[in-house]
Amino acid sequence: MNLSLRKINAIFQLKLQSIITNVSIMVAPMLAVGFVLIMKISMPKEVMTGAFLLGFGVLFNAIMGGIMTGSYPLAEEKEKNTLRVLMTSSVNGAEFIIGSIIPSIIMIIIVNIILVPIAGVSMDKINWPIYLIYTTLSGFISILIGYIIGIYSKNQMQAGNLSMPILLIFTMTPMFQMINKTIQNIASYTYSGTIINFINNMLTIKYTVDFKDITVLMTWLILSIIVFIYAYSKHGLDSE
């Protein structure tokens, strides 16, 4: 399969614009920033620690935002029959996917950085390389999950219905962790749980790179890539 940088660039610009102008996608990063800001201002400092706020914001942005930027635009292109027009204009599936993942990733990274000062965490407390790698990886996993949902849905409504339970499970991970030890243990094997634990540990005790965290993230990454490739090769992007 030939990849053309020119076409990827064209898709990149197209997607950048469609993400920014699509309110239902932008709601995730805006909620992430907005909620963190509101909670920081309105709640007592003892409850709303920097770790809690940052973890909350990253979950909203990387997990919810990632799944939404993956599924909604793809479903919208299918619903409005514009994906077909691109495909008949010699854009292939890989070019389309690469061109559309890049703007989503960039947006997730930028918001993850902005969240640090907004959550009131001082810049030097963050282990930047690991923070960026972990949060970007989880964003990437979410985008892939979003694409899998997008492949299986015909329109935006269906994409919304399919992504809602998955969104809830992953963004609510910290709340589930509070229920009991067993669930906390299970949650630590989800990629969202890993991110939360990492942020908590980084800001409370010193974080050292943990073998389990890396294994969990990598397993999720590989799994989502495999499922994505399976769905893509079986149905293509524009299945009917």
Partner 1 sequence: MSLISLKNVTKQSNGVTDLKNINLNIDSNSKIGIKITPSASKTLFELISGNIPISSGSIVKNTDSIIYELQTDGFYDSFTVKKYIKLFKKISNADNKYLNYLQEFSIEDIWNTKIKNLSSDQKRRISLFRMFISAPSLILIESPLTNLTDEGIELYLKAVDFIRNFHITVLFTSYYMEELLLLSDEVYRYNDKLGLEKIDIAEEDDTTNDDSGEKFHPQNVFKVACKMADKTIFFSPDEIDFIESINSVSNIRIGDEYYPSSLTMNDLEEKLAHFGFYRCHRSYLVNLQRISELISYSRNSYTLILKGSNKEKLPLSRTKMEDLRKLIES
Question: Whose Cβ is closer to partner 1: residue 13's or residue 122's?
Answer: 13
Of residues 91-110, those binding partner 1 (CB under 8 A) = 91
Piece in contact with partner 1 (CB under 8 A), picked from 1-9, 132-140, 154-162, 189-197: 1-9
DSSP alpha helices (H): ranges in 89-210? 93-118, 128-152, 156-171, 173-177, 181-187, 191-204
Note whether 6 binds partner 1 by CB under 8 A.
Answer: yes
**Residue 14 interacts with partner 1 (CB under 8 A)?**
yes
CA–CA gap between residue 25 and residue 20 (Å, rounded): 8
DSSP 93-115: HHHHHHHHHHHHHHHHHHHHHHH
Stretch that binds partner 1, among 7-15, 142-150, 167-175, 189-197 (CB under 8 A): 7-15
Residue 196 near residue 59, CB atoms below 8 Å: yes
CA 91 to chain centre: 25
- Contact pick of 1, 44, 46, 81 for partner 1 (by CB under 8 A): 81
Contacts of 78 (CB under 8 A, 6+ apart): 150, 153, 154, 155, 237, 238
48 binds partner 1 (CB under 8 A): no
Q: Does 233 help bind partner 1 (rule: CB under 8 A)?
A: no
Closest CB to partner 1 among 11 and 203? 11
How many residues bind partner 1 (CB under 8 A)? The answer is 21
C-alpha–C-alpha distance, residues 187 and 207, integer Å: 19
Chain contacts with partner 1 (rule: CB under 8 A): 6-7, 9-11, 13-14, 17-18, 21, 80-82, 84-91
